[in-house]
Amino acid sequence: MNATECIKTRRSIRKFKPDPVDHVLLESLIETASYSPSWKNSQITRYTAIEDSSILDKIVTDYTPDFNANIIKQAPMLIAVTFVKGRCGYERDGSFSTKKEDRWQMFDVGVASQTFCLAAHEAGLGTVIMGIWDEDGITELLNIPENQELGALIAIGYPDIDPAAPKRKSVNDLLTYL
Ligand SMILES: Cc1cc2nc3c(=O)[nH]c(=O)nc-3n(C[C@H](O)[C@H](O)[C@H](O)COP(=O)(O)O)c2cc1C
């Protein structure tokens, strides 16, 4: 699979087979994602792989809306993507480098998450990035360290569905030349 094919055929997968995600395979995906670009190579993105059914059940029942709970409850693994705060977008003295202030942190998490999802797709795994969840509840449940913040949840597993690509905007809509 070349890069263009990988990018175009990746879909958000919301239905999974029960097969587990092998840890050696997961670690190879994280290693691939570590090659993502990041602010001054700060590499702030971290991944927590959740397989424990009691933790997953709590996330499903207490901390996600139904449409995401329905995905998580049949996924063999959920990745909590976190980031180390206070480095990306900041100067050494703690001041912001740009007008975007700390928003570069989520930018880097997004870049790393997409790289992770593409690597997973190449390996035959499906993923879906989820942005809607109870941040306070999950932060406490997962014991996310004080110096980190939750950026995204990614369900991962072997796809049990082959969805069509949602419609894309035309290049005309997306691109401006000056
Ligand atoms: C930042 C972000 C947050 C998202 N949050 C959710 C979510 O909470 N639940 C969900 O089912 N999909 C979520 N998605 C997936 C999008 O709905 C999906 O990427 C989009 O519809 C395009 O479909 P595709 O990924 O198959 O190309 C999210 C995607 C991104 C990038």
Dist CA 71 CA 49 (whole Å):
16
Measured distance CA(132)–CA(155) in Å, rounded: 13
**CATH number of the domain to which 81 belongs:** 3.40.109.10
Total number of domains in the chain: 1
Does any domain span residue 172? no
Identify whether 122 is part of a domain: yes
- Report residue 33 CA to chain centroid gap: 11
Specify if 117 maps to a domain: yes
Query: Can you tell me which atom of ligand 1 is nearest the CA of 113?
Result: 31
| Triad 14, 69, 138: Cα angle to 5° | 120
Residue 169 in domain:
no
- Whole-prediction pTM value? 0.97
Give the domain range for residue 131: 16-159
Is residue 168 assigned to a domain?
A: no
Tens-level pLDDT at each residue, the chain (178 residues): 999 999 999 999 999 999 999 999 999 999 999 999 999 999 999 999 999 999 999 999 999 999 999 999 999 999 999 999 999 999 999 999 999 999 999 999 999 999 999 999 999 999 999 999 999 999 999 999 999 999 999 999 999 999 999 999 999 999 999 9
Indicate whether residue 167 lines ligand 1 (CB < 6 A): no
Tell me whether residue 8 is in a domain.
Answer: no
Residue 98 resides in a domain: yes
Asked if the structure places residue 51 within a domain, the reply is: yes
CA-nearest of 123, 164, 132, 163 to 15 is 163
Give the distance (Å) from ligand 1 centre to CA of residue 93.
36
